[in-house]
A and B are shown apart, each in its own frame.
Chain A
Amino acid sequence: MASAAIYHQLVRDYYEALYRFAYRLSGSPNDASDLVQDTYQAAFESIHQLQRVESARSWLFTILVNLYRQQCRRNTALHYYPPEALSDCSEARESLEVSEEWEPERIDPQQLQAAIQELDEDFRIPLLLHYMEGFKYREIAEELGIPIGTVMSRINRAKEQLRRLLGSCKDMRKGPRTEARDVRHAMP
């Protein structure tokens, strides 16, 4: 059985990162707290599977992602956009070019979160793992059980989507106010 020190170390070292990630993933502080607590509960129950404390970070994030996906499957209210839908999106293809008008200081945190929520979870998860936690593509591929090329492709598409959605939000400030969600739903 793991010692009390390991339990405490797992909490102390990773709970903040897990919460931030869970918040970006779920978009709700309450859901994020629940997700983190569920993650630790699942981690404690299967702590014997943790072979090295050094791999705890990746292990905890994998648990969190799996729990989130399970919740998404249970929660029919959540939207699911198949990747094919996005690959066919001409709008997305057009946004391959990096916009130099990107102005992060003008991005409202709520708009950012709304835009992230608009991303499909298959794209959102690798994007957040990479940009928030600095996981390398290879690590993400191992965690999610997908090829590294797929990880690269999904992160790129997620970025494209995000740029486009945030660009729309920026435009919305200028024009009539519209929810970011509506922009996404307007996709073919």
Chain B
Amino acid sequence: MFVMQCHEALWYLELRRGEGEKALGPEVQAALESHLQNCAQCATRARTQELWDYQLSQLLRQVSVPAQLGDRLLIQAAAYRGRTLRLRFYRLTAVAASVLLLLGFAWLGYRATLPTFSTEQLVLFHDSHLQDPESYFHRWLQHEGLPEELPVPLNLNLLVHLGYERIQGQKVPVALFRHPQRPEFARVYFLRQSGPFRWRQLNDAEASHTVAQVISDSQSFRGVTYVIVYPAGPEGLRPFLRPNPGTS
């Protein structure tokens, strides 16, 4: 244990007063106690100082607190909390209104981009179909990127419909022709060789009332295979073909 001098003892006493017993390690604590036992002046000073500190502390704490202060502060706390809650409510309302407004504008914007269903255009299409079926048909072929000529000279005056059919989940362009006299139809399917079907395995087919004829020539038809489905019978596809100029 080291021997403590008076000025050191005073310093450690001060530190102990301010920081508590644990501030000094056991060795320093022991040295301090030993010094105080052997030094009457420091011991007196320590006692006086402790008493002084205690009495000063007691004196300083003798302040009477206003009776209403606690209630006033609680009211202040409640008011502040109320104000904060209101503010938060207003803020949330403003955010919600902004979001709704934004969604509304987005919806209106989206609606504005939707195409208009134009009956006038429908009328024009229909009229074009009736008046000039050949041009109508060729425009459609051009639009679909299909060869301009069909492999067989079908009578375009018998053309009923141009569109698509879902075949095994794939959208296939198709042209529908009516029979000139009977309620029968012929369909022409346009299969692109770059499309999703294994077109090389296509073969002609025949049932009791219907025939399917595959026409494929990669050079002549720009990679398109035609499947013509028409009623079976002695006349075959002939009623659907363009009449010869010489025949009536």
Contact = CB atoms under 8 A, between A and B. Distances in A.
Interface of A: 1, 4, 7-8, 10-12, 15-16, 19-20, 23-24, 29, 33, 36-37, 40-41, 44-45, 98, 100, 102, 104, 107, 109, 112, 116, 128, 130-132, 134, 136-138, 151-152, 155-156, 159, 162-163
Interface in B54-96: 55-63, 65-66, 69-70, 72-74, 76-78, 80-81, 84-85, 88
A15 B73 contact: yes
A44 B75 CA distance: 13
Nearest to A131: B57
A176 to B, nearest CB: 25
A130 B63 contact: no
Interface stretch (B14-22, B26-34, B133-141): B14-22
Interface of B: 14-15, 18-20, 45, 48-49, 51-53, 55-63, 65-66, 69-70, 72-74, 76-78, 80-81, 84-85, 88
B11 to A, nearest CB: 9
B104 to A, nearest CB: 30
Contact of B72 (A37, A98, A155): A37
B17 to A, nearest CB: 9
Contacts of A23: 63
B20 A1 contact: no
Contacts of A152: 14-15, 18
A24 B60 contact: yes
B80 A11 contact: no
A8 B74 contact: yes
A113 to B, nearest CB: 9
Contacts of B53: 131
Contacts of B45: 98
B49 A37 contact: no
Contacts of B72: 37
Nearest to B46: A98
Given A15-B70, A136-B19, A152-B18, A128 B76 contact: no
B18 A130 contact: yes
A131 B56 contact: yes
Given A8-B74, A159-B52, A159-B56, 12 more contacts: A1-B84, A4-B77, A11-B74, A15-B69, A16-B70, A19-B63, A40-B77, A45-B80, A102-B48, A112-B60, A131-B60, A162-B56
A40 B73 CA distance: 8
B8 to A, nearest CB: 14
Contact of B81 (A4, A37, A130, A162): A4
Complex A-B, nearest 8 residue pairs according to Cβ-Cβ distance, in ascending order: A137-B18, A104-B55, A7-B77, A20-B63, A11-B73, A131-B57, A44-B80, A98-B48
Nearest to A136: B19
